[in-house]
Structure 1
Amino acid sequence: MTQTRASADGGRRAPGRGARRTDLAAFLRSRRERIGPEDVGMPPGPRRRTPGLRREEVAQLAGVGVTWYTWLEQGRPINASPQVLDAVARTLRLDPAEREHLYALAGVTRRPVAVDPAEGLPEDVPAILDRLDPMPAAVVSARSDIIAWNRAYATVFWCVPRVPPSERNTMWLAFTMPPCCNPIANIEEQAHESVAIFRYRYSRHMDDPGWKEFVQRLCAASPQFARLWATQDVAPPRPCDKVFRHPAVGEIAMRSTGLDLTAAPGLRMIVYNPVGEQDADRIAHLLAHPREAAAALPDHRH
């Protein structure tokens, strides 16, 4: 593993960094001292004067130089890459909260690790989704994979329950569903900004093969997406105005708001708020008359 080099600032520390380095040194020592050599498959060796692993043992297990790790634990002003800190964190068996604390103390910006949808949602999230009815709401990943949704969302974005799980992605559905079956009425108006926001999220996952493969598939499936993706435009996430179309009631105008789930990094809850009373009434009508709503949907397949 490539090590980082000591800072060339002659030992000078930026204002405010001294206290953070002191905290970093104390934190690393405390985490090192709680792990015994037998915990990592190393022989206990001769009698130890202090508990836990020695500094050279941590360095060896993490694949970094002894001098570099010693300086890090001493709070010296050296630089550390996320990859090297990841190795130290694994060696010290840090949990997610401890890892984030380590990166903050080291002054390293680290992207949160996305939750694996297979591991399930935090236990309160499904109940929150249900209680948001009649406001449509869903939980999606950073890549816009639809993980869970409530009854109102399935009623308005009616194609979601009808497609295979591999296609339950808001970007995929928006750009590949033909006009006759696309529940988003203003896709032409929203397309450019949607792709720019998606690139903003993509830039934080560029090393993930799954993201690259998804973009390639979507470019192949949608000439419109491919053309907009080629512009290289990027925009930060923000609330968006969307107009849904349901054959039973017509158009429903809503504003979407994304809420990050702190208990599940990488996931966010999208909540749709009806713009006017007529829009709210149309959602209420669909929910009150599910058979009528279902009977009005297209019965053909693409």
Structure 2
Amino acid sequence: MSMETDNPLGTFLRDRRSRMDPVAFGFGGGRRRTPGLRREEVAQRANISPTWYTWLEQGRGGAPSADVLNRLAAGLMLTEPEREHLFILGLGRPPEATYKTSGEVTPRLQRVLDAMPFSPAIIKTATWDVVAWNAAAAMVLTDYGKLPREQRNILRLMFTNPGMKAAQEDWRSVARYVVGSFRADAARAGAGAEIATLVEELSRLSPEFESLWRDNYVAGHADGLKRLHHPEHGLLELEFSALAVDGRPELGVIIYNPATPETAGRIQSLMMRRADPSPAD
């Protein structure tokens, strides 16, 4: 079996150090047998024992700790995807999540939403703040653009907005599912501290939320069926799918597709009215 197959962690470390310029990091250039940093130089940058680093490259000494891998990632100036790959090779899992979000969505992501004219779609953070939406979402779900930024939160709307509550066919079941999915998303993203204030606020404002939160129910949020009562077009049946955003683990996309021909027709009617709001003669 080749060394690359037998010790992929060592192969990855050797490859990354071979790409680094010694002079740029204050090490003498001179004549070197191989390109990049020496093992002892990587160990120095990562503040670990040169012997331990050598063993890692040679596949000896057992699995490294998460702390050692984080030091190596910093010393080798790995990108976030490279750091995640390092953890998977070294420990068989990604690094523990550390929540961070700018709340900004690129124009490219917005264009993805806008390319679905009859499928409501939103982008939310792990704390369920809605940070982007398309025109169909504004017509069918909520016109987030008319809300203050701090009010564009799915949990806050679900438990404090009477119109949102009235639109749900079985509000209690939907609310339980939403709270369980929210709990799972926040924990997965390492956002426990970030949701504390929202949880405290909603527990104070809504006895229903407080009861559901104390229940500790956890749910997935991959896909399902949503039934909404639109004030003008009646029942809308929507299939939803939750998708991740590559490179932005703190964001998720939810797309709602019409589940029946009747719903598709009603959404198209809504969107046509939006495009031509003038009353008929």
Question: 1:150 maps to which residue?
Answer: 134
Question: Cα–Cα, structure 1 residues 238 and 101, in superposed 2: closer, same or farther, change >3 Å?
Answer: closer
Give the SS at the match of 2:7: helix
Give the SS at the match of 1:235: coil
- Distance (whole Å) between structure 1 residues aligned to residue 76 and residue 113 of structure 2: 37
Give the TM-score of the pair, scaled to structure 2.
0.83
Question: 2:243 maps to which residue?
Answer: 259
Question: 2:12 maps to which residue?
Answer: 27
- Distance (whole Å) between structure 1 residues aligned to residue 157 and residue 9 of structure 2: 46
- Match among 168, 171, 181 for residue 152 of structure 2: 168
Question: 2:86 maps to which residue?
Answer: 102
The total of aligned residue pairs comes to 277
Preserved CA contact (<8 Å) 1:139 1:268: yes
Give the SS at the match of 2:174: helix
Give the TM-score of the pair, scaled to structure 1.
0.77
- Distance (whole Å) between structure 2 residues aligned to residue 70 and residue 130 of structure 1: 51
Question: Cα–Cα, structure 1 residues 221 and 82, in superposed 2: closer, same or farther, change >3 Å?
Answer: farther
Greater percentage in helix: 2
Preserved CA contact (<8 Å) 1:146 1:169: yes
- Distance (whole Å) between structure 1 residues aligned to residue 53 and residue 201 of structure 2: 43
- Distance (whole Å) between structure 2 residues aligned to residue 211 and residue 87 of structure 1: 29
Question: Cα–Cα, structure 1 residues 182 and 66, in superposed 2: closer, same or farther, change >3 Å?
Answer: farther
Which amino acid letter does the alignment assign opposite residue 136 of structure 2? A
Preserved CA contact (<8 Å) 2:189 2:249: no
- Cα RMSD between the aligned structures? 3.2
- Distance (whole Å) between structure 1 residues aligned to residue 48 and residue 40 of structure 2: 9
Question: Cα–Cα, structure 1 residues 104 and 292, in superposed 2: closer, same or farther, change >3 Å?
Answer: same
- Once the two structures are superposed, the pairs formed by residues 1-302 of structure 1 within 5 Å of their partners are 20-40=5-25, 42-44=26-28, 48-110=32-94, 116-118=101-103, 120-121=105-106, 123=108, 125-179=109-163, 183-206=167-190, 209-290=193-274
Gaps of 5+ in 2: none
- Distance (whole Å) between structure 1 residues aligned to residue 27 and residue 119 of structure 2: 59
Which amino acid letter does the alignment assign opposite residue 225 of structure 2? D
Superposition deviation, residue 207 in structure 1: 5.8
Q: Deviations over 1:196-251 (max 9, x none)?
A: 22222222234653233443333334332221111112122232322223322233
Preserved CA contact (<8 Å) 1:140 1:269: yes
Q: Deviations over 1:269-300 (max 9, x none)?
A: 2111223233222222222223999xxxxxxx
Q: Deviations over 1:64-115 (max 9, x none)?
A: 3333222212222522233431221121111233223322222331157777
Preserved CA contact (<8 Å) 2:226 2:239: yes
Superposition deviation, residue 181 in structure 1: 7.1
Question: Cα–Cα, structure 1 residues 187 and 64, in superposed 2: closer, same or farther, change >3 Å?
Answer: farther
Give the SS at the match of 1:29: helix
Question: Cα–Cα, structure 1 residues 227 and 67, in superposed 2: closer, same or farther, change >3 Å?
Answer: farther
- Distance (whole Å) between structure 1 residues aligned to residue 99 and residue 6 of structure 2: 28
- Distance (whole Å) between structure 1 residues aligned to residue 167 and residue 93 of structure 2: 39
Question: Cα–Cα, structure 1 residues 180 and 140, in superposed 2: closer, same or farther, change >3 Å?
Answer: closer
Q: Deviations over 1:146-170 (max 9, x none)?
A: 1211111010122422211122122
- Distance (whole Å) between structure 1 residues aligned to residue 216 and residue 210 of structure 2: 11
Preserved CA contact (<8 Å) 1:140 1:146: yes
Sequence identity (%):
35
